[in-house]
Amino acid sequence: MKKYNNLYIWNPKNALWRLGIGLLWLVFWAVVISSCDRFVDVNLPNSQLTAADVFEDKATANAAMTDIYSKIRDAGLLSGSATGLSHLLGNYTDELDFYGTPQNSTVAFYNNSLVASDPAVKDLWTTTYNQIYSANAVLEGVSASASLAATDKQQLTGEALFVRALLHFYLANVYGNVPYITTTDYEQNRVAVRLPVASVYTQVKADLEQAIAFLPQDYLTSDRTRPNVYAAHALLARVNLYAGLWDEASNEASAVLNNTVLYANETNLDNVFLTDSTSTVWQLATGFVGGNTLEATTFNFTMGPPPLSALTTSFMASFEAGDQRKVHWTASVTDGTSTWYHPFKYKATVAGTTSEYSIVFRLGELYLIRAEARAHSGDLIGAKDDLNVVRHLAGLGDTPALTQSELLDAVLQERRVELFTEFGHRFFDLKRFGVIQPVLSAVKPGWSVDDVLFPIPETELTLNPHLLPQNPGY
C-alpha cells in the first residue's frame, strides 16, 4: 500500500489496474479545486470528499463524469494533441508528412517503425484504460448512490456506458484483440484476457444499447458536450458499419439524420467546426473559458518549413477540381520557394474567445456511413443520394458512380476528403476496405503488412501473461 495525502491506495504493477491509479475521487478532488477547466466548474463542499460522497450529490457526480471528458480531450487516443490519433495516424498513413525533430515520438509512427517498447504506444494504451476505469467508477458509484435522483442516475449511467463503449471501440481498431474492462476490481483486471475484435464489438454494442435506453433525447447542455441518445446512435452506426452489419448501420445513422429538429447540415463549410454548428452530434469542450481546440494548435502553422507536420502532396492532389473543402479546410504556407499545406478545419489558435470545440461525431460521417451501408446492401439509389448530400455541401456535382463497386470506391474517396485528420478515419477505412497494403506500401517505404495493428506494450505482456500472444510482427 502507498500513502497519499493521509489515505492509502493500492500501488500494483499491472497497467490494467493502474488505469485506476489514485482512485477516481482523488482525481476528482484534484480537479474540482482547479478553476481553469470549464468541465468541472463547481463549488467544493465544506468537508473533504470520499469516494461515496462524490456520487451522493448531483453536482459532484456530474463533475466526476465531465472530468472524464476533459481527460479524453487532453490525452490518450482521442486527444487533439500531437500525441492523439488524429495526428499520429495521419502520419502513420498517407495524410501527413512529418517535419519535426528526430527526437519527437511521432517519428516512429511516420516511419512505421513502432516497437513494443515504444513509450508512446504504452501511453496510448495506459491512458485510455485509465479513462475506462474512471467510467467504470462512475457506473459503480452511481449504482450504489442512495441520494441521486433516478433521472440523474440514468443520465450518468448512459454517459459512462457510452464512454466505455467508445474507448474500447478505438482500442480494438488500433491494437486488435483487447481486454474489455467492466469493473474497478483489481483482482479481475490484473488477469484480464484479450477478446477477439468481434467479441469486443459485441460488448460495445451491448453497452450502447443500454446507453440508448438511459440517455435523454435532448442535450443536457446546449453546447452538445454531454452525449445524448443520438450520440450513442451515431457510435452504434459506426460500430455496425465496421462489423459489416449493413442494415443495422443504415438504421442507426438514419436515427440521427432523420432528426431534423436537432440537426441540420451547415451550408457554409466555415461553420461546420464552430461550437454552435447544427451538424455536430457530440463534441469535447475546451479546457478553459476563452480557450480553443488542441487540434488547431497541433495542425496549424504560419511559417515554413512546418514545425511538426503538413498535409502530403498526394492528399492535396486527391481533391476534385472545385471541391470547396480544399479551399475552406486546408491552408497554404510558403517561404517564397516551397509551399506547404496544413489542415484548417479548426482555425482558432489564440485564446480569448472560444469559437471551436473538438467534434467527435457529426452529420458528414453519418451520411457516408449510410451511403456505404446502403451500397453494400444493394440500395444503390439511396447510397448515391447520401453521397450527393456530402458532395453538394462541398460544392461538387452528383457522383458519376453507378455500380455497387463504383459507389464503394466513391465512398472511400469521399471519406478521404471529408474526414481527414479526424481521429484516424483514413487508417481504419483503408483497413476496412481491404486496400491498406497496396495503398500504403506504395507511398510509405517502411510499411509492412503487420503495421495494420500497433504492438501490445511489452511491459503489459510481462506483467500480465494473459495478454499474450503479441501482435504479429512485433
Q: What is the pLDDT of residues 306-317, one digit of tens each?
A: 999 999 999 999
What's residue 52's pLDDT? 72
Average pLDDT score over residue span 246-261: 98
Average pLDDT score over residue span 432-442: 97
Lowest mean pLDDT of 15-29, 55-69, 227-241, 448-462, name the range. Answer: 15-29
CA distances from 382 to 155, 294, 345, 368, 395 (A): 35, 36, 28, 11, 20
- Cβ distance 25 to 31 under 8 Å? no
What's residue 414's pLDDT? 98
| 141 in any annotated domain | yes
Q: Is residue 391 classed as helix, strand or coil in its secondary structure?
A: helix
| 210 in any annotated domain | yes
Q: How confident is the model at residue 49 (pLDDT cuts 50, 70, 90)?
A: very low
Positive or negative, the CA dihedral 379, 380, 383, 388 is negative
What integer best gives the mean pLDDT of the chain?
Answer: 91
- pLDDT tens track for 367-425: 999 999 999 999 999 999 999 999 999 999 999 999 999 999 999 999 999 999 999 99
Q: Does the pLDDT at position 14 exceed 60? A: no
- Cβ distance 243 to 201 under 8 Å? yes
Q: Does the pLDDT at position 32 exceed 60? A: no
Average pLDDT score over residue span 155-180: 98
- Cell of residue 131, nine digits: 479513462
What's residue 97's pLDDT? 98
Q: How many CA atoms lie within 13 A of 137 on its CB side?
A: 30
- pLDDT tens track for 56-112: 999 999 999 999 999 999 999 999 999 999 999 999 999 999 999 999 999 999 999
- Please state, for a pLDDT cut of 70, what percent of the chain lies above it: 89
Average pLDDT score over residue span 100-129: 97
How far apart are the C-alpha atoms of 347 and 325, rounded to whole Å? 14
State residue 38 phi and psi, 5-degree precision: -65, -20
Lowest mean pLDDT of 39-48, 59-68, 87-96, 231-240, name the range. Answer: 39-48
pTM of the predicted protein model = 0.91
Provide the CATH number for the domain around residue 158.
1.25.40.890
Average pLDDT score over residue span 8-32: 40
What's residue 12's pLDDT? 34
Domain count, the chain: 1
CB atoms within 10 A of CB 260: 9
Beta-bridged to residue 283, according to DSSP, are 359
| 175 in any annotated domain | yes
CB atoms within 10 A of CB 37: 21
| 28 in any annotated domain | yes
Q: Does the pLDDT at position 5 exceed 50? A: no
| 248 in any annotated domain | no
Average pLDDT score over residue span 16-42: 38
Q: Which residue has the cell 456506458?
A: 161
What's residue 53's pLDDT? 86
- Whole domain around residue 160: which residue ranges? 1-74+115-215
Q: How confident is the model at residue 355 (pLDDT cuts 50, 70, 90)?
A: very high
| 193 in any annotated domain | yes
| 263 in any annotated domain | no
Average pLDDT score over residue span 164-192: 97
Over the Cα atoms of the chain, what is R_g? 22
- Which tops the pLDDT comparison, 40 or 87? 87
Lowest mean pLDDT of 41-50, 147-156, 206-215, name the range. Answer: 41-50
Q: Does the pLDDT at position 459 exceed 80? A: yes
Q: How far apart are the first and last CA of the chain?
A: 34
| 177 in any annotated domain | yes
CB atoms within 10 A of CB 359: 27
